């Protein structure tokens, strides 16, 4: 409406606020100010660096701060370093959009799972709304994952159709997270609404 082009920026209060990384005119990732920050991407579980291009937790070290330096500060933000050179000519690395928070990660059957992986699949179905809840339970000493998701206004009442959609979601989730969840389609408005940041994971397992 204003006729201006908007650029994405990454920042955090603990660093210098907004503009720790910024998009260039290519708008294909955000260039980090590598003269001011040492950037690492680690596996949030092991603390080890992930291979280049893979998603992990962003860890920052300030290089030019004098009064309050931060060394290997864990941001809890999940992103990846984009491979290759940027056509704009800048050589500073680029990070992808923030994909979520590492504190949202859970482990089931030895697999690390982020809610964003589940969300990525769910948003592809127009029959689904945006509210969902992942519940983890122990059943017969086994971990079980239940994904409840609200239907949207575009959904049908036809049971056979709904069952087809449910199976399709289950299969696609399994392909993405390598664990087969129980998928339940629920009526719009039946999942708890959270104020502020949505609670996506409820862990009711015996041994968390
Ligand atoms: Zn660039």
Please report the pLDDT score of residue 158 as a whole number. Answer: 87
Pairing mode, strands 94-95 and 106-108: unpaired
* pLDDT value, residue 150: 95
| Rounded mean pLDDT, 23-27 | 97
- Band of residue 85 on the pLDDT scale cut at 50, 70, 90: very high
- pLDDT for 116: 84
24 alpha carbon – ligand 1 mean position (Å): 5
Percent of the chain topping pLDDT 70: 98
Q: How far is the CA of 141 from the centre of ligand 1 (A)?
A: 51
- Report how far ligand 1's centroid is from the alpha carbon of 116 (Å): 26
Instruction: Render pLDDT for 122-159 as a digit per residue (tens, 0 to 9).
Output: 999 999 998 999 999 999 999 999 999 999 987 778 88
> pLDDT per residue over 160-184, tens digit each?
999 999 999 999 999 999 999 999 9
How many angstroms does the Cα of residue 85 sit away from the middle of ligand 1? 8
- CA 94 – ligand 1 centroid, Å: 8
Residue 88 has pLDDT above 90, yes or no: yes
Going from the Cα of 90 to the center of ligand 1, the distance in angstroms, rounded, reads: 5
Interval between CA 26 and ligand 1 midpoint (Å): 6
For residue 89, the CA-to-ligand 1 centroid distance in Å is 6
Residue ranges with strand state E in the chain: 9-12, 17-23, 30-32, 37-42, 56-62, 73-79, 94-95, 100-101, 106-108, 111-113, 128-139, 142-151, 182-186, 201-203
């Amino acid at each position: 409406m204003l006729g201006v082009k908007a650029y994405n920026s990454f920042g955090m209060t603990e660093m210098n606020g907004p503009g720790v990384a910024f998009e260039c005119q290519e708008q294909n990732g955000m260039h980090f100010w590598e003269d001011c920050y040492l950037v690492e991407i680690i596996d949030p579980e092991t603390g080890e660096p992930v291979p280049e291009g893979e998603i992990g937790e962003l860890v920052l070290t300030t290089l030019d701060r004098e009064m309050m330096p931060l060394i290997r500060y864990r941001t809890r933000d999940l992103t990846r370093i984009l491979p290759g050179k940027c056509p704009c000519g800048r050589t500073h690395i680029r990070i992808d959009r923030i994909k979520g928070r590492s504190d949202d990660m859970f482990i089931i059957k030895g697999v690390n799972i982020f809610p964003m992986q589940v969300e990525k699949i769910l948003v592809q179905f127009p029959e689904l709304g945006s509210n969902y809840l992942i519940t983890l339970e122990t059943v017969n000493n086994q971990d079980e994952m239940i994904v409840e998701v609200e239907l949207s206004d575009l959904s049908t009442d036809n049971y056979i159709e709904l069952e087809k959609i449910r199976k399709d979601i289950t299969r696609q989730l399994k392909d993405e997270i390598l664990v087969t969840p129980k998928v339940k389609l629920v009526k719009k408005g039946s999942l708890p609404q959270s104020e502020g940041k949505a609670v996506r994971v409820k862990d009711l397992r015996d041994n968390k």
